A = this chain, B = another copy of it.
Amino acid sequence: MPRQSDARTLSSLRHALQALRCFSQDEPELGITEISRKLGLSKSTVHRIMATLAEEGFVHRDEETHRYRLGLSVLSLGGIIMSNLEICREGQHLLEEFVHRFDETVHLAVLEDFCTVYVSKLECKHPVQIATHVGRRNPLYCTSSGKVILAYQDESMVEEVIRRGLQPFTPNTITHPDRLRKVLAQIREAGYATSVGELRPGVNSVAAPVRDYTRRVIGAVTAVGPAARFTDEKMRSLAKTLLSISKEISNRLGYYERVSSRTRLQVSHSMGRPT
């Protein structure tokens, strides 16, 4: 019996999309057999899938090795998203200013499917570079952007994240539910989040929340860098600017602060002033 094809969706298409997902930063080039093993499908099936993907330009077949890599068609699609994601459009120039001023790498991340997805990245000139890329997904509980987003979601989402498991990536990763809940409370207090080597050792980050017109936190602005440069003090300093940037982006997305109304947000915005 094959994999349970739950709904009324197309199994062949689903397999093809999963095949596309097999490609990654570390494995940008794959052969038929590799993919068929990853997906548990027969070689002939995968071959047919790849032939179709290649014909449509979604993968590129190397004529010599007969192995496959992602094609440029997906770049087009990516570009379309980028230039239509409102948060991207509005944020780009603010991020550029940030990089110019601090010379630190900065990302824009959004929430999707219990992950943060980087939708924009601006690199600094420093020789030390943290290997991330646009489109990269990370868990919510071990990055500054993830935590700051999570901090402002419904409690049920926090519980779901916990239920899915707090897998440790480094010794610093938060793995205890109660600790996570506590940290999130602190983040709401401060208005921003930090990560000190929680996803990768020696890599720190700071993040501030971005809201849309519904007042929901939908993303974050985050600066990333090596622990050597990202001291506590420096991160506090960066946080100030990140908060003003995130606020500006939020405004452009239609968000406006309602200071004195009886809404569910008494977390005040002491933006420049860390408590």
Contacts and interface: CB of A to CB of B under 8 A. Distances in A.
A13 B75 contact: no
Interface in A117-154: 117-119, 123, 125, 131, 133-137
A57 interface: yes
Contacts of A24: 80
Contacts of A84: 25, 28, 69-70
Interface residues of A, number: 59
Copies of this chain, complex-wide, total 2
A130 B55 CA distance: 31
Interface string A222-264: 0000000000000000000000000000000000000000000
Contacts of A266: none
B77 A135 contact: yes
Interface of A: 6-10, 12-14, 16-18, 20-21, 23-25, 28, 48-49, 51-53, 55-58, 69-84, 92-93, 96, 110, 112-113, 117-119, 123, 125, 131, 133-137
